[in-house]
Amino acid sequence: MPSAKVLEQKKQQVATLSEKLEKAVAGVIVDYKGTTVADDTALRADLRKAGVDYAVVKNTLLTLALKGSPLEGLTSVLEGTTALAVSDEDCVASAKILSEFASKHDNFKIKGGFLEGEIISLEKIDSLAKLPSREVLLATVAAAFQAPMASFARAINAIVEKDGEPEAASAEEAPAEESAAPAEDAAPAAE
């Protein structure tokens, strides 16, 4: 029977895992068996840059953390070696980085995941991985908002340029009309 100190540590680990899962907007559970230390270090660095929390977890502790939550269905994938990647802000980062890593490493497998508190299928994880990054999506949205304003500005500029041309042309025609008028005035005087 484990000591009271060990049990308290495990309860704290379960509470920490539960809190991580509640705060996360997205997460992916993977089987990392056979991953080399060098590959794992590179993967962790990529995940850290993207703001993703990645850790190896014990299946029993994760099962306890999932118990009673909307994500309890993920307990069915908790066999073998397990690592959990969660993100508090970016819905795409963990899926994108882990899917790319899995495509290059045969032993590394994605077991399951969640998005906004709901379990998602492996197909949805793959779809998330194919989405552009958050920055690219924001730039696309900004460009979509900017396009009508830019078109409006070009239209206004074209009107201003077009209105400027007749003024210049009428200024050139005005002296010609003035020179014709004195000639007419001069002709009757000659009679």
N-terminal to C-terminal alpha carbon distance within the chain: 135
18-65 confidence digits (pLDDT tens): 888 888 889 999 999 989 999 999 999 999 998 999 999 999 999 999
Q: Which residues contact 101 (CB under 8 A, 6 or more apart)?
A: 39, 43, 46, 108
**pLDDT at res. 175:** 53
Query: How many C-beta atoms lie closer than 10 Å to residue 35's C-beta?
Result: 18
Question: What's the rounded Cα separation, in Å, for the pair 33 and 50?
Answer: 23
**pLDDT at res. 169:** 47
Q: Which residues contact 18 (CB under 8 A, 6 or more apart)?
A: 65, 69
**pLDDT at res. 70:** 87
Which parts of the chain have pLDDT scores under 70?
1, 133-134, 164-191
Q: Which residues contact 128 (CB under 8 A, 6 or more apart)?
A: 26, 91, 92, 95, 96, 115, 120
CB contact at 8 A, 130 and 136: no
**pLDDT at res. 191:** 44
Question: What's the rounded Cα separation, in Å, for the pair 111 and 121?
Answer: 9
